Amino acid sequence: MSHISSSTDLAQSANMPAKLPWLALLALAMTGFICILTETIPAGLLPLIGEGLNITKAMAGQLVTLYALGSLVAAIPFAMFTGSVRRRPLLIAIITVFLVFNSITALSTSYALTLTARFIAGVAAGAAWGMVAGYARRMVPEALRGRALAVAMVGTPIALTFGVPAGTLLGDLIGWRPVFGLMSLLTLVLIVWVLWKVPDYPGQPAEERMTVRQVFVLPGIRPILMVVLTWMLAHNILYTYIAPFLERAGLAERVDLVLLVFGLAALVSIWVIGLLIDHKLRLLVLVSLIGFALVSVALLAGGTSASVVYAAVALWGLTFGGAATLLQTALADASGEEGVDIVMPINTTVWNLAIAGGGIAGGILLDMVGAQAFPGVLLILLLVALIIAFSAKKHGFPRKQKTSQGS
């Protein structure tokens, strides 16, 4: 059965145009944009949400926690139970969940109901991240799969760079509830967009799908996931607690500008990696890790200098912007087309563990030692990631990438 499936995929690839289906891929990018925006927008609106629901800021912060928890627990089970479902109806159902539960968040006056809505929206996000990469790769010939994934992932840095600040500004102007209402309107537009431009594909019959265990033991998968964990743990320690870290350089009031520098550099990174990923994935991963390690060294030596911090943050953005695309492409290549719809939810789970771990580890470091301890811890994590990535030269991050000609 797998041979028949592979032959069908090859036949489909042969009929695909050797160019990117931009509107379809950008619809997937918009899905990612809504996932990230829905997750992070409460962080900029905590005081307003607290006032609106008569709760403390700490209680309002649990709106982010519950969303992440939903993504964490749902990604793998959702992929296992929906693997045979056609892709476009499933994507529309996921987007509809965002529409319904962002609307509930906008209208709810109950803290418990709002938390429930956030958890279910997080479940939808976990489901979406589990299928976006495989969906994007199915739209194009093998030679363009890395580039297609780069386009499909561009919504993430855009949401982090512009979406959250814009949402925070809008919240101050019109209130936090209308902001969630506007996100619901965006999902309505996205549903129409998906119906208009995104092609449909069948799911995989149960007998053709790989299990989580089968995917997890494939050569290369575990080293890549360890790189995901260590790289993202380092990133999230610094990103989550960037405000207290910036106090040492006198930039506590310029967090927005620092994050803008980070986000713009991340967008540049996405563009560069989109051009090179189909031929230089291993090199790009190693250079990104080395670059982030250099950021740690710079912050360790000059973290009290504003100019050093700005330069380091720009390099940090350049090394991070394409990280999701690089790591997801490596996982997709290592798992093969039959395992891609399972390995991506595993990746989502590990990614969310790193986000949670970054928050916990950073908080402990901040309380016990202070923010000045961050760069040293980051450097250790990144050196571990670099050693693993460098060593995985046969399967995880192979020296010679597969090409359409070679396959």
CA atoms within 13 A on the CB side of 27: 23
pLDDT in tens, 222-262: 999 999 999 999 998 898 788 788 888 998 888 778 888 88
pLDDT-based confidence at 206, cuts 50/70/90?
low
The pLDDT assigned to 150 comes to: 83
Separation CA 95–CA 112 (nearest Å): 23
Per-state percent for the chain, helix, strand, coil, to nearest 5: 80, 0, 20
Rounded distance between C-alpha atoms, residue 234 and residue 385, angstroms: 10
Torsions phi, psi of 213, nearest 5? -65, -45
* 188-205 pLDDT tens trace: 999 999 999 999 999 877
Average pLDDT of every residue of the chain: 87
Q: According to the model, what pLDDT value does residue 383 have?
A: 98
Amino acid (one-letter) located at 142: E
Confidence of residue 9 (pLDDT cuts 50, 70, 90): very low
pLDDT in tens, 271-315: 898 889 888 999 999 999 999 999 999 999 998 999 999 999 999
Per-residue pLDDT reduced to its tens digit, 71-100: 888 888 988 888 889 999 999 999 999 999
pLDDT tens for residues 114-144? 999 999 999 999 999 888 888 998 999 988 8
CA-closest candidate to residue 277, choices 397, 139, 155: 397
**Matching CATH topology for 1-209 and 211-401?**
yes
User: What is the domain partition of the chain in residue ranges?
Assistant: 1-209, 211-401
Distance CA 281, CA 240 (A): 28
Greater confidence (100 vs 55) lies with 100
Q: Across 139-288, where does the E strand assignment appear?
A: none
Instruction: Give residue 190's identity as a one-letter amino acid code.
Output: L
Q: What share of the chain in percent tops pLDDT 90? A: 47
Query: What is the token pair recorded at 250?
Result: 């006198």
Instruction: State the pLDDT confidence band at 68, using cuts at 50, 70 and 90.
Output: confident
Query: Between the CA of residue 10 and those of 206, 266, 333, 340, 372, what are the distances in Å?
Result: 21, 34, 16, 16, 53
Q: What is the pLDDT of residues 30-53, one digit of tens each?
A: 999 999 899 888 877 878 888 999
Q: Is residue 126 a contact partner of residue 71, using CB atoms and an 8 Å limit?
A: yes
**The residue count for the chain:** 407
User: Does the pLDDT value for residue 2 go beyond 80?
Assistant: no
User: Based on the number of CB atoms within 10 Å of its own CB, is 234 exposed (0-12), middle (13-18) or buried (19 or more)?
Assistant: buried
CATH code for the structural domain at 1-209: 1.20.1250.20
For 211-401, which CATH class? Answer: mainly alpha
Burial class of residue 88 (count of CB atoms within 10 Å of its CB; 0-12, 13-18, 19+)? middle
d(CA 126, CA 120) in angstroms, rounded, equals: 10
Cβ–Cβ < 8 Å for 238, 374: yes
205: Cα separation from own chain's centroid: 28
Check pLDDT > 60 for residue 151: yes
Q: Between 11 and 235, where is the model more confident?
A: 235
Q: Give the pTM.
A: 0.81
Please say whether the beta carbons of 344 and 79 come within 8 A.
yes
Nearest to 94 by CA among 38, 171, 169: 38
The distance between the two most distant Cα atoms of the chain, rounded to a whole number of Å, is 62
